[in-house]
Structure formats: C-alpha cells, structure tokens
Amino acid sequence: MNRRPRIGLTLDHDDERRRYELKRGYVDAVLAAGGLPILLPHDPGAAGAYLALLDGLVVTGGAFDVPPELYGEARRPVCGPVKPERTAFEKDLLEAALAAEMPVLGVCGGMQLLNVVRGGTLYQDLAADAGIRGHEQPPPKDVPHHAVEVATGTVLAALVGPGTLPVNSTHHQAVREAGPGVLVTARAPDGAVEALELPDLRFALGVQWHPEAVLVHVPRHAALYRGLVDAARDFRG
C-alpha cells in the first residue's frame, strides 16, 4: 500500500479558551486529495522535527494580520490584530520548508506571509492604502464573491485553468509589492493581487482566497490541494 503524503497544516489558537483551532475544510481538502493531514502546534523549536516528518506544507489563514515590522513598516491604526507567536512559528517553518524545496501552499494570510518571507510588502489595509474595497464578503464565506484572472503559463493555470476563476474573498490586506523573484499569477478586476508563485521552486504557491471552502461551489479549486499532494508525493522520492 502506498504511503499517503504527509501534509502539515498550521493551526490558529484561541488564548482565552486555551485551544488550537482549524477549520475542517483544510483537513477535508487534504484527505480528498490523497494526503494525510498533520496538525502543527506552535513550537519554533520543533520546526526541524516537523519538516523531517512532512512531505508538504499548508500555511493556513486566520482573522489576524502579518506584523508590518516584518516588511519594514511601522504599524498603523488601520492594521488589524496580530498573533506574534503564531506568525513567528509559521515564518520559521515556511522559511525552512522553502529552503528544503518542500511543496508549499499559502492560503489567504499564508500567501501574504509567503510574499513577506521572500522580501515583499503588504497593504496594511486595502481601503486605506489603495482605495480598494469589497474584499471582505459577508457570510456565507464559502460562496464565490468576485472573479480573478489567472495568468497563462503558470503553475496555477496548469491546475485550475487560465482565464477567469470565481473565488471567495475574506481579507482586508493584500500584497503590495511582490518580493524579488515572486511571480504574480492572478489579480482581481480592481488590480488586487490574488495569487503568486515562486518559479524557482517546483511547487510554492499562494492564493488570497480559501480554495478549501469555495470548492464546494467551484470544484476547480480542489486542484490546488491535489497539486500540492502530487508534488508532496514526489518530494521524498
């Protein structure tokens, strides 16, 4: 029996309730793609041990922001709440995974962090910094809210197809400047960056939407998790 690729999923945390949290859609998407989900509690000292265990990594999203200090800016009032412990862990883990050329998928805030660790910057708030509104859809959060245009000739296009793709939208921050060597692979009609990838690696993608949620309505999004698991299957080989 072939071993399922082990896919790490970063967790959110609720300090008041003293518990880790993860939306089930991430786990379901990895399982449906043929992977084995491995949940990753925050322990920077365990990053190396986690990587030795994993074949792929998903940096998940959450209702918090990447600290502006990580991309060389002072925090302003328009910036939302931060979770320094979680971000420090995810940053260390993500940098090590990229250095090892491990397949990586960044989702929403995970995409933003992927850009930051590669030297890019973010809008602390799309409305305040770029005059762009309408990217925080009301519930339900899993239905398509707007379309993005996927660039041809990219890994993203090979997975979901080039051209128009309906996505959900639950963010107030976004990529401002892509880091050196980071390729923008999809934009919203208003110009907001919606996806990126690292062409120097076989599989290192980030998407601003939540494919594990919207795939219920647009099955094409499941290809992102299948692509990650397929790349993870070959990682150790």
Run of H or E residues at 6: strand 6-10
- CB 188, CB 126: distance < 8 Å: no
User: Packing angle between helix 222-235 and helix 24-32, nearest 10 degrees?
Assistant: 60
Residues with a catalytic annotation lie at 108, 210, 212
For residues 174, 91, 84, 7, the Cα torsion angle rounded to the nearest 10 degrees is 90
Rounded distance between C-alpha atoms, residue 141 and residue 201, angstroms: 31
Neighbours of 172 (CB within 10 A): 18
CA atoms within 13 A on the CB side of 144: 15
Three-state secondary structure of 115-181: HHHCCCEEECCHHHHHCCCCCECCCCCCCCCEEEEECCCCHHHHHHCCEEEEECCECCCEEEECCCC
Angle, CA of 32, 35 and 41, to the nearest 5° = 110
Neighbours of 185 (CB within 10 A): 25
